[in-house]
Structure formats: structure tokens, C-alpha cells
Amino acid sequence: MLKEEFLNEMKNLGGIDYEAFVRAMQETPEISIKLNRRKLTDPTDIGYDDPEPVIWCRSGHYLSSRPIFTLNPLLHAGAFYVQDASSMIYEPIVEELSNRGLLPSAPLVLDLCAAPGGKTTSMINALPDGSFIVANEVMPQRVKILAENLQKWGYPDILVTSSPTSKFGALPASFDLIAVDAPCSGEGMMRKDEEAGRQWCPNLVKQCSTLQRQILSDAIAALRPGGILIYSTCTFNRQEDEENVEWMADTHGLEPIDLELPMEWGIIKQINSDLPALRFMPHATRGEGLFVAVVRKPGVTESRSHAKTIADIKKKTRVILDGIPKTIAKGKMEIPASQWALSTRFPIDDYQSAELDLDTALGYLRHEAITLPSNVGKGFVVVKYKGFPLGFVKNIGSRANNLYPSEWRIYNSSLRSQQVSEKNRQ
């Protein structure tokens, strides 16, 4: 049940078909997945029936029902990511910015509010090789899943940090692209998540708007002159959306960029504002509520060397993950890290590998010892499912010892608990 006060706010928002909006808020949310473009391009390889394209994102596909994603080893191989379709707009936005020459050929990118990694993985899909991505998440309990998801996505030029945004505001202005997918009052999540509806109150909107301006001030300071900022929320009110874009333009002189996306995508433009922005409204687009605006910091500077900025970040922030590890220490030895097998630069031909059937692959992901076919040699072996690497084992013949990261293991549990745990990981 949506709160009366919230519905009144929506009625007064203007610029939308209110009756259609209320009807859409009662409908069941869509289920959608995004392919990892550096790992595969054909959605049928994932194994779900009749995937239907998301019109604004070539990597996005709707599914007709919700499978238990955890039981598909390709999720753990980082071949796809479960994500609301609206959020996938980050991929075509970054492509459009590159095509219009608004980003350097190998940009330095900061995702300031990154967990669990939906927008980061979308940007990685769109960015060329050579780009470097810093993904930050201040909440310690959320940064772990961010680091896990990014290792599975496999793009190696990444740094995961967990610091307040002020640490980035204090760095020299050096990022070419910064994403602020801000903590918000979550009005656009209400049909997917009842808790968002229960928590909503006018004061929350006010608090979020203040926090967003603090985060945006830090982002603007960290952006190099000429750099681009993508600001998004999953909420509908103007205070957290258009008014924050107006504030960035008026107070910091940022220049909004009109993305001119095709009309048939159904994306609504800004409400009651002269500045361009995109609104995904559930009655007009197939996805949850999302607001996105793109702004540019005036001026021009040459991109600073990535290495210098990254060295500064490592000194001043709490680093959780510095690239994808190739090896891990085991006693006095260094042995291959399973994470390395998930990297998009993993040289698969340098290792022995073995294809697993579904049951054995799930056993491997539960961190069980498995048995490989007798023709597989002893030593370190990459195990694969449908050709996608999952990690390493050490084959000793009678069995293969499991080297999958124990903190990533999946559990043999009921359908209901799998679904709850999946929801928490998205």
C-alpha cells in the first residue's frame, strides 16, 4: 500500500499521467539481466527461454519469469548480472558520451556510490580497454559484494575503495567521468521493495537532498575541468532530482548535457525545469523509477596520468581491492587465484582446463571437493561451465581440491532463502 502523502506528492508533481502511474505502481516488476559484453553477446548462451531485448541497452534482456539465478553457474562466471532495466541506461549514456568526444579514449572513471555494482558493470560494458575504474562504497557491509561482483565481471583495471566521499573531494581534480548514483528516498523502488514504501516520509526526502548535495560537492571537486558527471537517483520528487541539477548548474556552474535519446524509448524528460534530464517512470518505460542527468564541468584540462591519481587514491582512501589477484598465498607458496580465472584477460590456454556438468559446477560453487575425468592431469586446473571459467581446483587424481573463494560459496538451501539472498545481493 502506497502512503497517501506520497500519492499526493505524485499528483502534485505534474508532467506525468498520474492515473497511469498509480496503475503501474501496482504491477509486478520486470525481471531483467545484462550480459557481460567482454564475455558474451548472445543472450541464449545464458540458458533462459525467450530473452526479450531492453530497447535502450544492447546488453539488456527481459526474462518472462524469475529463475533461481544462484543456480546458474554463468552468474558466478560473471557472464551476466541481474539488474533493473532502467539502470542499464548507464551503458548507452557512456557510449553516447564517448561517441560525442566528451570522454578521452581511455578515461579515468570514479563510481562514488557503487555497491553492489550495477552501474559500475554497465559503465565497464561501455568503456574501451585502457579505461581505469575506481569503485567506491562507503558502507563496509556493502563493499564486499561490490568487490565480489566486480571480480566476477572480470575487468582487471579496477580499484575498489571504501571511504567517505570527502576523501575524493580532497584529491586533485582528475577524474574524466564520475558517477553519483546517490542514496535517495527510493520512491522508484516502492513496487519492488515494500520497505521503501514504509520508510518514506517528507523528512526523508529533505535529508536525502542535503546528503546528495554533500556527495555532489565532493564529486565536483574530484572532476577535472571538462570532466563529466552522471547523477542518478531512484526517486521521483523534484527536490532530489531536478532541483539538485539546478543547484549544480547555479552554484557550481556545471553545464547540463542533452542526450537526445530516441523518443520511442518512452523516457520522460525533466519536469518543470529548463535543464535536460531523463526520467524513467514505470507507466512509460519497462523498468523501475530512475532519474538521470549528465553535466559537464566547465573548462578544459589534459587528462592527468592515471598512475599519479591512482597512487594518490591509494594513499588517501581505504583500498579493498587493487585489481584482480592472479595468485594467493597458501602457506609459503603462491598458487593461482580463482578470481584470476574470471578476468577478461585470463590466458585460458596457459592452463589445463576441465568442463563440468551442472551438478558438479554447483558442487564446485558450494566449495565441495569434486572429481574430474581421469584424462585430466594432476595439478592446477581451471574448471569451466559451458566454456566459461569458474575458478581453479588442484587435481590430485582421486579428487580435486576446491580453490574457490570460500566467502563466495553458495549454499544448499530452500528456494525461498535463495530468493531472499539474491535480492540482498542486487
Among all residues, which ones are annotated catalytic? 234
Residue 296 near residue 245, CB atoms below 8 Å: no
Nearer to ligand SAM among residue 90 and residue 385 (C-beta):
90
Binding mask 200-229 for ligand SAM (x = CB under 6 A): -----------x---x--------------
Smallest separation, CB 319 to ligand SAM (Å): 17
Beta strands 268-269; 278-280: pairing state: antiparallel
Which residue number, 235 or 402, has a Cβ lying nearer to ligand SAM? 235
The answer to whether residue 117 forms part of the interface with ligand SAM (CB under 6 A) is yes
Q: Binders of ligand SAM among 151-170, rule CB under 6 A? A: 165
Nearer to ligand SAM, 79 or 354 (CB): 79
Q: Which is nearer to ligand SAM, 167 or 384 (CB)?
A: 167
Question: What's the alpha-carbon Rg for the chain, to the nearest Å?
Answer: 22
How far apart CA 241 and CA 265 sit, in angstroms, is 20
Q: How far is the CB of 213 from ligand SAM (least distance, A)?
A: 11
Task: Please report how close the Cβ of residue 154 comes to ligand SAM at its closest, in angstroms.
Answer: 17
Q: Which of 89, 29, 99 is nearest to 59 (CA)?
A: 89
> Interface mask (CB under 6 A) for ligand SAM, residues 95-114, using x and -?
------------------xx
Q: Is 138 in the site for ligand SAM (CB under 6 A)?
A: yes
Q: How far apart are CA 21 and CA 32, in angstroms?
A: 21
Q: Is 181 in the site for ligand SAM (CB under 6 A)?
A: yes
Instruction: Figure out which of the listed residues 70, 87, 185, 317 binds ligand SAM, where binding follows CB under 6 A.
Output: 87
Least distance (Å) from ligand SAM to the CB of residue 158? 15
Residue number of the CB closest to ligand SAM reads: 118
The verdict on 126 binding ligand SAM (CB under 6 A) reads no
Q: Which residue has the cell 554463468?
A: 74
Closest approach, Cβ 295 to ligand SAM, in A, equals: 18
By CB under 6 A, tell whether 139 contacts ligand SAM.
yes
Smallest Cα–Cα separation from 291: which of 216, 249, 240, 219?
A: 240
Name the residues that contact ligand SAM, by CB under 6 A.
87, 113-119, 137-139, 142, 165, 181, 183, 211, 215
